[in-house]
């Protein structure tokens, strides 16, 4: 049987870290390699550069530094749980780059967090997870946000 590889996109959010935890459990169960990736959103870098002239020289570098930090934190978390994790930093359209990385690295599965947006917010903000789920050539596991049961009980 071929080596299983699980690709986990991370964006610095708690949602992504939830996906890292789920993927780590799957990696242990399947003896799979974890590939963690962060995509510097080329559209966001351009908006920062044109929208805020003070960031013109440093916007990409700031996004890169953030991405490297996200990857380092997520990779350390994955290695504590599943020992075999590699990180990949990319630049471009996140949904497209995730699919490209999955193909280039022969990923057998993608595990990604979802922000749990619905309705108009999702329509306006888009969903990288949704685009990846529709277009990926491998199975995609969408990890929903963790529910805060204590908060739900007090607000009910």
pTM: 0.80
What confidence tens digit (pLDDT) does each residue in 58-116 have?
577 888 898 999 999 999 999 888 678 999 999 989 999 999 999 999 999 999 988 75
Q: Please tell me the predicted confidence (pLDDT) of residue 153.
A: 45
Cα–Cα nearest to 4, from 102, 94, 123, 145:
102
Q: CATH 3.30.1490.20: does it fit domain 5-155?
A: no
Rounded to 5 degrees, φ, ψ at 127 are -145, 110
Domain ranges for the chain: 5-155
């Amino acid at each position: 049987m071929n080596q299983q590889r699980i690709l986990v996109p991370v964006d610095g959010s708690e949602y992504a870290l939830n996906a890292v935890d789920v993927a780590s459990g799957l990696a242990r169960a399947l003896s799979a390699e974890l590939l963690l990736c962060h995509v510097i959103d080329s559209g966001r870098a351009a908006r920062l550069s044109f929208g805020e002239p003070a960031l013109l020289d440093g916007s990409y570098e700031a996004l890169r530094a953030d991405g490297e930090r996200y990857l380092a934190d997520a990779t350390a978390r994955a290695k504590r749980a599943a020992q075999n994790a590699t990180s990949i930093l990319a630049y471009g359209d996140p949904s497209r780059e995730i699919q490209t990385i999955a193909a280039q690295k022969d990923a057998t599965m993608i595990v990604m967090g979802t922000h749990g947006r619905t309705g108009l917010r999702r329509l306006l903000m888009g969903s990288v997870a949704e685009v990846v789920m529709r277009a990926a050539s491998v199975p995609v596991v969408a990890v929903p946000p963790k529910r805060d049961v204590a908060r739900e009980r007090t607000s009910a």
